[in-house]
Structures are given as structure tokens and as C-alpha cells.
Homo-oligomer: A and B are copies of this chain.
């Protein structure tokens, strides 16, 4: 039997695998499209039965399932595939935590084309795309995002609402900035029947949030504010402002303007909860937060995955007290919590 090499000599395997890494994206996307994980969970767990179930050739089903096993999405014992715990939780369509809709935003042609221009982006120091200025409405991108990415927010939204004490059910007023699918505000509203939410986003995007709010039965406590956080009349006296995955799109000066407007809209001692990819000071850990920076290089004019020290400084400059950093236990993101002083 062949075995992995035991040598410690240099090996080109990492280079080879990285130049082939785009294939893992394609394989997972195809598996989700074909609902392979659901099929296996329902017993179509060998190449012949799996092929029949997902409408594939047996060779195709076998090679794809083996590949997904190599990459940790399946297990295989005596020729029988099974889901890993993560795959069962996130990739079986019957799971309440199903995340397959993510392929409507991640790994789309648009994203991949962005990375076709990475060399130019590194030279320029920013995106070479015409639509990289995220202070302008980009309906196509952000409607896709709103429709695709709601499920992945559920654990962090639940953690944030709990963190903000929503279970105490005190009356409060919350501004959900760049609300997208609306799931952050909706989760706060569900945990706290006395919470009132203002959801801010571009008009086309808010249609997705409205639909989700109605489905969640909280539409009567959410008002919808169409427009830009840089220009809209945000209202006042908020207890909380939610800044979820918005600040990374901008440079520090633009973030400063945004935070000043937020500061003005909060009541005294009101808090901002920022959900972000926050790398450590070394900018190389934790891996997912640190790696996120490259997406900002290719997709924005001057955005970044900022460190906690950078966020803390930006918030202080805008009039907030010292911020605190909190790991979201279920995912790769972090919370920065900042109080109006």
C-alpha cells in the first residue's frame, strides 16, 4: 500500500495543492447544487445509489464524494459515505442550520472574476472594479447577499442578542445599519418583544429584509429606513446600533464619518455592537479573520480587516469610550462593543 512520504525534505505539495485549491471551491459548490449531502444523509451513501439519487453518473458521484472525503466534508468506511458532524449540521437541507444558500453569494462568478484581477489589485492597492465604492448602492451584489447569507448569521445574531441582554426584555430601540436580510435586527426583535428596530439599507435590499421580518412575525416592530448611512436621517436615542459586516468596506476616514453619525444617533451610554473579521495585532491570526483582508483588497477601494486596536482608536476618535473585543463562539468573527461616553 502506498503511504504518505515520511521525509522532511522540501515538498512541492503545498504549492501544487494551492494552485489546485480553486477545485475545492468548485467541488463544494457542485455538491451543494446537487444536494449531495442531503442525499447521503437519507441513505444514498454509496456511489451507485448516490448517483441515482442526485442525477449523476456513477463515476461522477464516486469521484466527487471521494474528493469531498479527502477535504473533510464526508467520511468513508468500507465504501460507505457519511456526513461529518459539521456537514450534517450545515449542509443537509433538512437541518435548520442549512447554509447551502451561501453559494448564491460566495464563489459566484462575480467573486471569482474579482480575483482574476488580483495582481492588478495588489499593484494598485485596491479594487480595479468600477463598483468598488461601497458608499454607493450596488443592488445586484447586495440583494444577492441578502438572499444568500441570512442562514450563516443565525448563530452570531443569536449570540449578539443574548450578549446585548435582549432576554431581559427591556424596552429598547435598535438601529440595524446595512441591515441586508434583516436577520440581526429580527433576532433582537424575536428575543425581546419590547425591542423596536430601525433597519437601514438600500431600497432594493430592504425588500428582502421586509419579507424575512414578515416571515418571522416581527414586521410590526421593525421600521424600514431606505438610504445610505452616510446621508439618511438616522433618528436618535438608540439604545443599540448594530454594525454588522459594514465597516470593513471603508478606509479609516470614511469609518470615522460613519461612527460620528452613529455616535450622534445613540442615547447616552448607548452601545454599538460591531460584528467583524478582527485579526490579532499580527494580522495573520486567527486565520479566517486575517485572510478576509484579501477580499477587501480585491473588492473595495480601501477596506480592510482591521485589528481591535484600530477599531478602538476609530471609535475613540468618534467620541466613544474604550471598546471591548469578544469572540463569537460559533464562528470566525468577533464583536467589538463600544459605548457612547
Residues of A participating in the B interface, judged by any CB pair closer than 8 Å: 1-5, 7, 9-30, 33-34, 54-64, 66-67, 69-73, 76, 85-86, 89-91, 97, 99, 102-103, 106-107, 112, 115-116, 118-119, 121-126, 152, 278-291, 293-297, 302, 304, 308, 325, 327-332, 334
Query: Given A124-B60, A126-B57, A293-B66: A14 and B72 within 8 A (CB)?
Result: yes
Tell whether, in the assembled complex, residue B330 and residue A118 are in contact, meaning their CB atoms are under 8 Å apart.
no
Tell whether, in the assembled complex, residue A26 and residue B103 are in contact, meaning their CB atoms are under 8 Å apart.
no
Number of chain copies forming the complex:
2
Given the complex, which residues of B lie within 8 Å of A89, measured CB to CB?
10
Tell whether, in the assembled complex, residue A302 and residue B152 are in contact, meaning their CB atoms are under 8 Å apart.
no
Tell whether, in the assembled complex, residue A119 and residue B297 are in contact, meaning their CB atoms are under 8 Å apart.
no
Given the complex, which residues of B lie within 8 Å of A18, measured CB to CB?
24-25, 28, 71, 73
Given the complex, which residues of B lie within 8 Å of A123, measured CB to CB?
55-57, 60
Query: Given A125-B57, A287-B70: A27 and B118 within 8 A (CB)?
Result: yes
Partner of A115, one of B26, B125, B278, B293: B26
Tell whether, in the assembled complex, residue A86 and residue B15 are in contact, meaning their CB atoms are under 8 Å apart.
yes
List the B residue with the shortest CB-CB distance to A282: B76
Tell whether, in the assembled complex, residue A297 and residue B64 are in contact, meaning their CB atoms are under 8 Å apart.
yes
> How far, in Å, is A341 (CB) from chain B's closest CB?
23
Tell whether, in the assembled complex, residue B2 and residue A278 are in contact, meaning their CB atoms are under 8 Å apart.
yes
Given the complex, which residues of B lie within 8 Å of A7, measured CB to CB?
329-330
> How far, in Å, is A216 (CB) from chain B's closest CB?
21
Tell whether, in the assembled complex, residue A25 and residue B14 are in contact, meaning their CB atoms are under 8 Å apart.
no
List the B residue with the shortest CB-CB distance to A293: B63
Tell whether, in the assembled complex, residue B116 and residue A26 are in contact, meaning their CB atoms are under 8 Å apart.
yes
> How far, in Å, is A8 (CB) from chain B's closest CB?
9
